[in-house]
Amino acid sequence: GAVVSQHPSRVICKSGTSVKIECRSLDFQATTMFWYRQFPKKSLMLMATSNEGSKATYEQGVEKDKFLINHASLTLSTLTVTSAHPEDSSFYICSARDLVGGETQYFGPGTRLLVL
């Protein structure tokens, strides 16, 4: 089956620093990837849609200058949390859409970010 990886799986950083999270589709090409944020005991909140070779589309209320998304290739999208603050601590999940499978999204294992 389609596999999506994320790196790192968890990261601890100081307030004010930037953190980059990678999302890779390992065995398929993904023209579209999605970035979600999951709060404890809550559902996934879509942050942005990342399209290969073009600018990401951000959901309402998500600061695009704070959450920089780059989708440079058909298998890699990155999310950079800039000038991180403790309130950015969360579980970030990416997914990649396999067009061959028809609109199905395959999810990465997530990245736990803790900002001190």
| C-alpha dist (Å) from residue 60 to 45, 49, 65, 83, 93 | 11, 12, 13, 20, 18
112 binds other proteins (CB under 8 A): no
CA angle 46, 50, 55 (to 5 degrees): 120
34 binds other proteins (CB under 8 A): yes
| Residue numbers 74-103 binding other proteins by CB under 8 A | 93, 95, 97, 102-103
32 binds other proteins (CB under 8 A): yes
CB 74 within 8 A of CB 54: no
Size of the site for other proteins (CB under 8 A): 19
Shortest gap between Cβ of 16 and other proteins (angstroms)? 30
108 binds other proteins (CB under 8 A): yes
Residues that bind other proteins (CB under 8 A): 32, 34, 42-44, 46, 49, 93, 95, 97, 102-110
